Amino acid sequence: MIGKYRWPRDVRCVCMLTVDFDGPSHEIGRNLRPLGINSWGRYSGRRGVPRYLDLFEKYEIPSTFFVPGFDAEYYPAVVKDIHRRGFEVAAHGYLHEAWELGDEEEELLQRTHTILTELLGTPPVGWRSPSGRKTARTMRVLKKLGYLYDSSDKDYDLPYMVRLDGSRLSDMVEIPNNTYSLDDFPWFKFSMTPASEVLAHWKQEFDSLYAENGYFMLTFHPRSGWGSGGPSRARVIEEMIRYIKQHEGIRFFSIRQLADWCLNNHVEFE
């Protein structure tokens, strides 16, 4: 099968469950007060993230939490707990920027990098674009800050080495994510699809990727409202974990763990 030789020995399919914290930064960055109907993001820090930490510990699953800098300032104890319990904390903008960035981009990237480094005592090595905005300038700043991977692009269904200014890097890898069919946002924000139907779709996606390249990444948000923070939608994630674990040769990775593998075998990832 295509791509199977790329994975560690005895691994047929690499699986990643990634969490975009997306707390009140999401509203503040859109000039909304995170109160009343706009308080959904506060659920992440108060209940959603703790719920998923317990779930991942229950099933002994490594995971990566992408955290905006503002949310780390707003919920420092929660972000520290993610790190304390052995999960990866990666960067995700400062105010979940939803506007076109100009000269302030480098300052915002540096600000979140500093916040997370000082809070956790170790610098983040991964980044995911908030709202999908990314340029060559973004990547130059991330490289200067020492990042090992980006997980923003949607242009492939396997990892590949980053190309910057016409050169293929050997020290920075793209770990693509699918924010359409393998993300809770479009299902719960726009189509309002019942959770049971979303689960059925995710299982079909997994079956196809397991059979082809063996690369599966699911992204969700621990918010209320359009997120998966609440009990019934969190149960869907638990059911998905159980389904994946029924398959032979699967292994769950944090993105840092997969990025390290790819960087150590970078000639295999064009």
In this prediction, residue 5 carries a pLDDT of 57
Tokens of 209: 């990727």
- In 3D space, the residue among 110, 104, 109, 146 whose CA is nearest the CA of residue 129 turns out to be 109
Count Cα atoms within 13 angstroms, Cβ side, for 179. Answer: 17
**pLDDT score recorded for residue 3:** 46
| Dist CA 139 CA 149 (whole Å) | 10
- Domain residue ranges in the chain: 4-268
* pTM score of the predicted model: 0.96
Taking domain 4-268, whether its CATH number is 3.20.20.370 is answered by yes
Residue 2 is predicted with a pLDDT of: 45
pLDDT digits (tens, 9 = 90+) for 242-267: 999 999 999 999 999 999 999 999 99
Q: Which two tokens stand for residue 8?
A: 């560690």
Q: What is the pLDDT of residues 206-232, one digit of tens each?
A: 999 999 999 999 999 999 999 999 999
- Do residues 74 and 106 lie in contact, with contact meaning Cβ atoms separated by under 8 Å? no
Strands 149-150 and 167-174: parallel
- DSSP notation for the chain: -TTGGGSPTT-SEEEEEEEE---THHHHTTT--SSGGG-TTHHIIIIIHHHHHHHHHHTT---EEEE-HHHHHHSHHHHHHHHHTT-EEEE--SS---S---TTHHHHHHHHHHHHHHHHSS---EE--GGG---HHHHHHHHHTT--EE----S-SS-EEEEETTEEEEEEEE----SSSSBHHIIIIII---HHHHHHHHHHHHHHHHHTT-EEEEEE---STTSS-SHHHHHHHHHHHHHHHTSTTEEE--HHHHHHHHHHTGGG--
Q: Residues of the chain whose pLDDT is less than 70?
A: 1-5
User: What is the rounded distance in angstroms from the CA atom of residue 266 to the CA atom of residue 208?
Assistant: 25
- Amino acid 175: pLDDT: 98
Amino acid at 72: A
